[in-house]
Amino acid sequence: MKKISSLGLLLILTSILILGGCAQQTSPTTPSSPSAVKSSPAPVSADVIELRYAHHNAPTAGLTKYAIDPWGKKVEEVTKNKVKVTMYPSQTLISSKETIEGLKSGVTDMALIDLEHILAVIPYLK
């Protein structure tokens, strides 16, 4: 049980670091004419922040069932549903190998990164 708690804590801390590092400051822009406004699907709500969490574990894996999914639900609960976390298990959003690039490019907002891929970009951890 202590090992699962440690993994959960590690997952939460890693997610916080990734979110902080990937945050982008943007300034609102207004179109120059009404015709410049593109038709796009309306967001769920202007007050809801939607986050994508990509990982390589199966939906039925222990880490998914007992740490990743409950963490996402807890985030939604604690923020009173102002933050919605959509999980993408089993490499359904991006492949495990593309995780770091997917974080940098904004394909996903958060991710569980395989150690082998971390070592590829931070070799001094070997």
Percent of the chain with pLDDT over 90: 52
Closest-CA residue to 72 (of 26, 118, 110): 110
Amino acid at 83: V
Q: Name which residue leads in pLDDT, 79 or 12.
A: 79
Task: List alpha helices for the chain, DSSP H.
Answer: 2-22, 62-63, 69-78, 99-105, 115-121
Containing structural domain, residue 91: 2-21+46-125
In-domain check, residue 120: yes
For residue 71, give both structure tokens. 């963490």
In-domain check, residue 30: no
Q: Name which residue leads in pLDDT, 25 or 101.
A: 101
Q: What is the domain count for the chain? A: 1
Q: What is the pLDDT of residue 3?
A: 56
Least confident of 7-11, 80-84, 105-109: 7-11
Q: Name which residue leads in pLDDT, 11 or 53.
A: 53
In-domain check, residue 92: yes
- CATH code for the domain of 82: 3.40.190.170
